Structure 1
Amino acid sequence: MLESGTEPPEVMLARLDRAAERQETPCGEGSMVWRRWGPAGGPHPPLVLLHGGSGSWRHWIRNIAALSVRRQVICPDLPGLGESAMPHPAETPAPVAAEVQAGLTALLGEGTRYDLCGFSFGALLSGHIAAQAGPELRSLTLVGAGALGLPRQVTELVKVRTVEGEARIAAHRHNLASLMFADPAGIDELALAIQEWNTQHARFRSRGFASSSSLKDAVAKARCPVALLYGERDAIAWPEVEKRFVALREVQPEAWTGVIPGAGHWVAYEAATAFNAMLDEMLLRRFGT
């Protein structure tokens, strides 16, 4: 098993990191870091997971083990986040997505089919990758997506860079409760450890993209099946989740949609079992693999 709920966060994160195959591709003036888990080849195309803003591959800590049983799971640190270098300067998400797509092509090989799932900022980049991709992209799943041309409630976050100790932990708890979790009781030591590491390593600022229609405009050009998932109490969509589905269907009428009850924005962590099952079922029902 790759994952255990009884280990200290640092031990679990280090073990999962060691279990990965690590690779690098060009990014900006440096490199983009990718990790792979699970079997290569076989009937199941690779599943590529793009994490959220100010995040890293660690956003998928509760999903990698379950999803990599049958297929290879690939998680990068997105440009300017985690261990990856800053992208070339860009005014829109499209050039950043192009750098990610180029890295993925270098990683998988030209024409290799794959499924793509992006969370929050990763969903935005995934939509722009889908607009640029050819038949190698088998499916697109958007999770907790913004930038669909709809207003969202303002989420007040506490700055943590200038505080230390218990005040810093309290700030992380506040931010996770305000934006990422529906139930603050779910904020455990692992979530706090991930939030701390991600915050320390985040340089690229993506929040300015979230209130645009950039994702909706990009995903209109996607030539693969599209799905959109939210936690029921996602702070960027609640209480108007259905309006997001309507907005997507205006450009992708056949899109699949799903809501996971009781979960917030970081649905893949807060409701990992339900999320893993829903994503796996969507892929199996659409393609049989």
Structure 2
Amino acid sequence: MRAAGGGAGELVWHRWQPADAVRVAGAPPLVLFHGGSGSWTHWVKNIVPLLEAGRTVLAADLPGFGDSDLPDGGADADAMAPVLAGGLHQLLQGERCDLVGFSFGGMTSGLMLADAPELARRLVLVGAPAMGVVPGRQFELRAWRHLKSAAEQEAIHRHNLGVLMLHDHDLIDGLALEVHMTNVPRDRAPRRRLAHTDILARTLPRVRCPVHAIYGEHDAIYQHYIHQLEDAFAAAAPDFRGMQLIPGAGHWVQFEAPEAFDAALLRALAG
């Protein structure tokens, strides 16, 4: 599906409906925002289990990623939030959703709901940055665009997946590489900086709905600071409902430990 982006081109949304036999009556749409340099495929292992749980799923390609146009007003989360709010107003037609934001998409969802609280009845933040507990960048990614050889590029992508996204390097398999190597070249939103600030922590006091958090215990964004996060959320979000840590998983927790993540997400959505 495509929706106007408030004068900033088109947003692409992907929608799945559950079978009538399992549909949860009265459940709002479940909206998924992916992470930086990604697309809806950051959720590739989770769509079917969520449908089997009876939920209608609506996954965005965020502005400037996947098949969605880059907004005119900027290439960071603060420019994308009003564009996404406009798209959701068109698609939801006054209905509130349950919103799940991964990484950059979590930060963006917080900024969006601070100004458009009518869009969601709850927010689930997954591996979200910008909570102000990390003194500096915890990882360094390697450049790949200058490399001419496909094999050299794949080696760098494999390295970057291991540095940032997946804790267990044995899980950097064909699917992980395919998703990553398809998404990263379509990132048209360079020089994003807000993820390395405390903007989410400063924005959450204006988010009125219940807020839940799910992280992999080895999230590379936080490393030695992961256990400071729950207190940071409790201090920032007026209606914080708790944080779940997924054992053995890294930043891309919903891909690395899909069964444990899906169970944690359904607990949050029921809480």
Per the normalisation by structure 1, the TM-score is 0.86
Match of 2:73 in 1: 89
Match of 1:44 in 2: 27
Query: For residues 56-95 of structure 1, what are the alpha-carbon distances to aligned partners after superposition, in whole Å with 9 as ceiling and x for unaligned?
Result: 0110000111112211111111001111111122386333
1:80 corresponds to 2:57: no
Q: Could you tell me which runs of 5 or more consecutive residues in structure 1 were left unpaired when the two chains were aligned.
A: 1-21
Separation in structure 2 between the aligned mates of residue 52 and residue 103 of structure 1, nearest angstrom = 18
1:61 corresponds to 2:44: yes
* Deviation larger for 150-159 or 177-186: 150-159
Match of 1:8 in 2: none
The letter for the 1-side match of 2:152 is A
Whether the aligned pair in 1 keeps the contact of 2:30 and 2:98 (CA below 8 Å) is yes
Percent identity over the alignment? 41
Separation in structure 2 between the aligned mates of residue 92 and residue 103 of structure 1, nearest angstrom = 17
Q: How far did residue 274 of structure 1 move?
A: 0.6
Match of 1:264 in 2: 250
Whether the aligned pair in 2 keeps the contact of 1:146 and 1:215 (CA below 8 Å) is yes
Q: How far did residue 218 of structure 1 move?
A: 1.4
The letter for the 2-side match of 1:45 is P
Q: How far did residue 135 of structure 1 move?
A: 3.8
* Deviation larger for 171-180 or 214-223: 214-223
Q: How far did residue 136 of structure 1 move?
A: 3.9
Match of 2:99 in 1: 116
Per the normalisation by structure 2, the TM-score is 0.92
Query: For residues 229-282 of structure 1, what are the alpha-carbon distances to aligned partners after superposition, in whole Å with 9 as ceiling and x for unaligned?
Result: 110000001221121221111122542111000000000100111101110111
Q: Could you tell me which runs of 5 or more consecutive residues in structure 2 were left unpaired when the two chains were aligned.
A: none
SS in 1 for 2:125: strand
Match of 2:263 in 1: 277
Whether the aligned pair in 2 keeps the contact of 1:51 and 1:60 (CA below 8 Å) is yes
The letter for the 2-side match of 1:274 is A
Whether the aligned pair in 2 keeps the contact of 1:27 and 1:86 (CA below 8 Å) is no
SS in 1 for 2:74: coil
- After TM superposition, the structure 1 = structure 2 runs for residues 203-214 of structure 1, keeping only pairs within 5 Å, are 203-205=188-190, 207-214=192-199
Residues 91 and 198 (structure 1), Cα distance of their counterparts in 2 relative to 1, 3 Å cut: closer
Query: For residues 8-42 of structure 1, what are the alpha-carbon distances to aligned partners after superposition, in whole Å with 9 as ceiling and x for unaligned?
Result: xxxxxxxxxxxxxx333335542110010124883
Match of 2:158 in 1: 173
Alignment length, in residue pairs? Answer: 263
Q: How far did residue 181 of structure 1 move?
A: 0.5
Separation in structure 2 between the aligned mates of residue 251 and residue 115 of structure 1, nearest angstrom = 20
Residues 227 and 274 (structure 1), Cα distance of their counterparts in 2 relative to 1, 3 Å cut: same
Residues 107 and 101 (structure 1), Cα distance of their counterparts in 2 relative to 1, 3 Å cut: same
> What is the CA RMSD across the aligned residues, in angstroms?
1.8
The letter for the 1-side match of 2:145 is R
* Deviation larger for 38-47 or 78-87: 38-47
Query: For residues 207-233 of structure 1, what are the alpha-carbon distances to aligned partners after superposition, in whole Å with 9 as ceiling and x for unaligned?
Result: 411121111111111110001111000
Match of 1:245 in 2: 230
Match of 1:32 in 2: 11
Match of 2:133 in 1: 150
The letter for the 2-side match of 1:238 is Q
Whether the aligned pair in 1 keeps the contact of 2:6 and 2:83 (CA below 8 Å) is yes
The letter for the 2-side match of 1:259 is L
Separation in structure 2 between the aligned mates of residue 193 and residue 127 of structure 1, nearest angstrom = 29
Match of 1:100 in 2: 84
Separation in structure 2 between the aligned mates of residue 272 and residue 184 of structure 1, nearest angstrom = 16
Residues 201 and 270 (structure 1), Cα distance of their counterparts in 2 relative to 1, 3 Å cut: same
